[in-house]
Amino acid sequence: MKLRSNLLKLALFATGLSGIVAEYVLSTLATYFLGDSVFQWTMIVSIMLFSMGLGSRLSKWFVNNNLLQNFIYIEFILSILAAFVSVITYSASAFYGYVGFVIYIMSIIIGLLIGMEIPLVIRLNDEFEDLRVNVSSVMEKDYYGSLLGGIFFAFVGLPYLGLTYTPFILGSINFTVACGLFLMLRNSLRPQLTLKLSGMSLVVLILLVSGFVFARPIIEYGEEARYQDKIVYQEQSKYQKIVITKTREDFWLFINGNQQLSSIDEVMYHEPLVHPVMKLSKNPQQVLVMGGGDGGAVREILKYDQVENITLVDLDPAMTRLGQTHELLLRMNENALNNRKVEIINADGFKYLEDSRQYFDVIIVDLPDPKTVELGRLYSYEFYRLCHSKLRPNGLIITQAGSPYYAARAFNCIDTTMQAAGFITMPLHNQVLTLGEWGWVMGCKTGTREEIKRALQGLKYEDVETRWINHEAMTLITSFGKEIFPDDHQPVEVNKVHNPVLYKYYLDGKWDLY
């Protein structure tokens, strides 16, 4: 009797682990395909918890003499759904396009099934322990399993197994639980039911093995459908999905499905990002680059002989490793990240600035667009105040700021936030062929906007090797025309850590024009 009770609790510990990881997998998939991580994680987890409550209510309709077999049925179904969640999602994105609907439907169904488990185990364990001990011990095991599941997903599942194979670990856990209960308790089941469950376990095993074998090509096909060109590299790191596509001699770099650069026109992005601020600096010896793991910005910085040290701070070691080793990026960045002047630090940029005692002449912020709260933190008032404190008296900063037309209010918010942090700002823009009209905001600690603009427009580049930017270009990138969309210039709030408005402005942009 004690063995049977412990077996049921062990099963619930395993399913608690599997259940929480299923929530995280679906939330990550929703973020990857639908964007807005805060919204997707909030809604997926909330919907699954609601569905679990509904599943708990529905479990009362299971009669007492069929509890064990119903629990095993639920585990078999869960093992299949949990294992194939990524395969189903990527297939939907490739063939049907209703990926959001599919993700949320799976969240509801998996939540319902998970919700049925705890009441069934409590009822199965009722004959072995009194109610007080039964409920507390069953819930305890489920919550302990959830903790282990979170640790597994954060440190093993996502960074090493990715969204391809982590779901199959979940499916295997549910399958093992079902088979373990079946084998241990088969003598208490009717012979006909034993034969039926044996057949089901064989079918589920075949499905799991087949899915494990064919998951990668199916998911890769679904991933290919998201891009116009052939994928030549992809990696799910601990922090993001990195994809490189290629056609003929050109390649594109994507992070979480969003283009970061194209070899066709990356100079039209990197040169305005780097050269105006480097030229305006009288003696740029110490340069800090936030992000920029592809190496394009560092390549341009190294064209200035005065530079003694470049500190590149990028959260993801997978990205900087790629910039140091991948043949396409090495060709593009001219092996810049392996230069002796470059120090690479894989850390959170905000935390790095808080802890650093170093001061810089130039800070270049080359981060992905602020489309999430997490990224918006690196475009916040608090972040820019830290930058201000780490710049020498004549120091300069420039940040990529998205599109001044597709997301004008987000662009203006970055400008406003930098001004609030103490910078005299100068917005810049350029037509990047594969990105459209793109923008940057430069910040100085002294002077006026008019003085900065005149200084920028007077810059010459005869002494620096560039492919696009020149003296004439400075007149173009420092000048803006009249307003096209009246609502774009409505007042914006300062983006702060405790009031993250920037990502909302960004997501509300006119991206349907892109």
Q: Which helix (H) or strand (E) holds 485?
A: none
This prediction has a pTM of: 0.83
The β-bridge partners of 499 are 496
What mean pLDDT is predicted for residues 159-181? 86
The pLDDT of 464-472, averaged and rounded, is 94
In DSSP notation, 439-467 reads: EEEEEESSS-HHHHHHHHHT---TTS--S
Among residues 142, 314, 361, 366, which one is catalytic? 366
Strand partners, 255: 242, 258
CA distance 328 to 229: 15
Of 150, 162, 179, nearest to 86 (Cα)?
Answer: 162
Any idea which residue has 């990240």 for tokens?
337
Q: Please check whether residue 354 is in contact with residue 280, taking contact to mean a CB–CB distance below 8 angstroms.
A: no
pLDDT at 162 over 70: yes
Encode pLDDT of 219-278 as tens digits: 888 777 778 788 899 888 888 889 999 988 899 999 988 889 999 999 999 999 999 999
For 249-359, where are the E strands, in sequence order? 250-255, 258-262, 286-291, 309-313, 342-345
Q: Which residues contact 17 (CB under 8 A, 6 or more apart)?
A: 145, 146, 148, 149, 152, 173
| Contact predicate 435/266, CB 8 Å | no
Token couple for 151: 């640790």
Q: Name the residue with tokens 């700021």.
A: 401
Tell me the one-letter amino acid at 332: M
Question: Confidence class of residue 97 from pLDDT cuts 50, 70 and 90?
Answer: low
Q: Which residue has the higher pLDDT, 216 or 410?
A: 410
Q: 377 pLDDT band (50/70/90 cuts)?
A: very high
pLDDT band at 120 (very low <50, low <70, confident <90, very high): confident
252, amino acid identity: W
Neighbours of 450 (CB within 10 A): 10
Q: Which residues contact 180 (CB under 8 A, 6 or more apart)?
A: 7, 11
Question: Is 366 one of the annotated active-site residues of the chain?
Answer: yes
- In this predicted model, what pLDDT tens digit does every residue of 429-449 receive, in sequence order? 999 998 889 999 999 998 899
Taking only the tens place, the pLDDT of each residue in 190-219 is 788 788 888 888 999 999 999 899 888 888
Output the pLDDT for position 19: 83
Question: Cβ-count burial of 396 within 10 angstroms (0-12 exposed, 13-18 middle, 19+ buried)?
Answer: buried
What pLDDT does 11 receive? Answer: 77
Question: CA-to-CA distance for 403 and 337, rounded, in angstroms?
Answer: 27
The pLDDT assigned to 401 comes to 96
Distance CA 52, CA 46 (A): 10
pLDDT(413) > 60? yes
User: Which pLDDT score is estimated for 216?
Assistant: 85
For residue 327, pLDDT over 70 is answered with yes
Nearest 5°: the CA angle 227, 318, 291 is 85
Cα–Cα separations (whole angstroms), residue 445 to 94, 207, 281, 288, 387: 50, 63, 12, 16, 11
Strand stretches in 367-423, DSSP E: 391-400
Radius of gyration of the chain (CA): 27
| Residues whose CB is less than 8 angstroms from the CB of residue 400 and which lie 6 or more positions away in sequence, other chains included | 269, 273, 365, 366, 367, 369, 438, 439, 440
pLDDT at 383 over 60: yes
Q: What's the pLDDT score for residue 431?
A: 93
State residue 192's pLDDT score: 81
Residues 297, 336: Cα–Cα separation, whole Å: 9
Q: What is the mean pLDDT of residues 90-101?
A: 80
Are 123 and 70 in contact, with CB atoms under 8 Å apart?
no
Q: In a 10 Å sphere around its CB, with 0-12 CB exposed, 13-18 middle and 19+ buried, how is residue 132 labelled?
A: exposed
Question: Is the pLDDT reported for residue 1 higher than 60?
Answer: no
Per 3-state DSSP, what percentage of the chain is helix, strand, and coil (rounded to 5)? 60, 15, 25
- 354 pLDDT band, cuts 50/70/90, is very high
Q: What angle do CA 380, 382, 387 make, to 5 degrees?
A: 95
Q: How many residues does the chain have?
A: 514
What is the rounded distance in angstroms from the CA atom of residue 28 to the CA atom of residue 107?
A: 12
pLDDT tens digits, 124-145: 777 666 667 777 877 888 888 8
Report percent pLDDT > 90 for the chain: 52
Q: Quote the CA–CA distance of 388 and 422 in Å, as a whole number.
A: 7
Secondary element (H or E) of residue 234: strand 230-236
The order of strands in the sheet holding 250-255 is 230-236, 241-247, 250-255, 258-262
Structure tokens at 308: 């003694």
